[in-house]
Amino acid sequence: MIEGTDRLAGLVAEGGVVVLSGAGISTESGIPDYRGPSGALVRHTPMTYQAFVGDPAARRRYWARSHVGWRAVARARPNAGHRAVARLQRQGLLSGLVTQNVDGLHQAGGARTVVELHGNLNQVVCLDCGDPTPRAELDRRLRLANPRFDARVTTINPDGDVELPEEEVAGFQTVGCGSCDGGMLKPDVVFFGETVPADRVRECFALVEGARALLVLGSSLTVMSGRRFVLRAAKLGIPVAIVNQGATRGDAYAALTVDGPLGAVLPDLAHLTSAPAAR
């Protein structure tokens, strides 16, 4: 058992815990994180909202690469960490579950009532009329528009983007909204440089403010999008525990940190908290 897991179990077993998860919980499902040991930022510059809406060439490049990458994300399966979080939820120990991930793996692993801070890749939205579309439907339309497009995934990134040679991208045909006859389609996720919807942020703050403890799983907390919830918890005197591989920008505010793979730590945590002595 990894050092600190037993102390973590003592904290979680009292209940009232809000979980904030990041990309590190999905690495063992084959989706790399941005800044951890398999970090994608070393080789990949994520698409920004400004480039997506303002540059047709950037938009075509994104859709060509994401057309391939989404299928790889859709094939990913929840790992032991996702299933352990769902188990903690079933045990009644979690009062909220917020994820920064867009892969839907918490729900696939059995979790309920997940607040997806940055959205979900499985849905597309029209920026002109607001109509949502299942990603599978867009995938069908893109296949019809690009019958000879047969690019292969070499490296997938947390946002569902992949690396493709420029020649593979050049002839890719994008499609517009089917409801308003050609509106601009965008994955229903928050791009870099885009603002998280205010009502979603308020919901997350309310969960944190009502928590007995905040448990951060697999996030470096480098960007303020997630770190602000740690700062709010610390300001209110709510204990913060962090499980991650490597240091995070929230460690100074944490009552407890556990350094280890989530696929090992979380099943042990769920087992310990289910034991009568822990409750």
CB atoms within 10 A of CB 172: 19
180 is in an annotated binding site: yes
204 is in an annotated binding site: no
21 is in an annotated binding site: no
245 is in an annotated binding site: yes
Is 111:25 a contact under the CB 8 Å cutoff?
Answer: no
98 is in an annotated binding site: no
Collapsing DSSP to helix, strand or coil, 95 comes out as strand
Q: Which amino acid does the sequence have at 44?
A: H
146 is in an annotated binding site: no
Structure tokens at 189: 């996720």
Q: Which amino acid does the sequence have at 154?
A: T
Please identify every residue annotated as catalytic. Answer: 118
**How does 225-239 read in b/e, with b if 16+ C-beta sit within 10 Å?**
bbbebbeebbeeebb
> How far apart, in whole angstroms, are the C-alpha atoms of residue 261 and residue 94?
21
262 is in an annotated binding site: yes
221 is in an annotated binding site: no
173 is in an annotated binding site: no
Q: Which amino acid does the sequence have at 228?
A: R
Q: Which amino acid does the sequence have at 119?
A: G
157 is in an annotated binding site: no
Sheet with strand 132-134: strands edge to edge: 132-134, 119-126, 185-189
219 is in an annotated binding site: yes
Q: Residue 88: which residues within 8 A CB-CB, separation 6 or more?
A: 12, 17, 19, 94, 269, 270, 273
Residue 265 main-chain phi, psi, to 5 deg: -70, -45
Q: Which amino acid does the sequence have at 245?
A: Q
Q: Which residues make up each annotated binding site?
A: 100-103, 126, 129, 177, 180, 218-220, 244-246, 262
Q: Which residues make up each annotated binding site for Zn(2+)?
A: 126, 129, 177, 180
Q: Which residues make up each annotated binding site for NAD(+)?
A: 100-103, 218-220, 244-246, 262
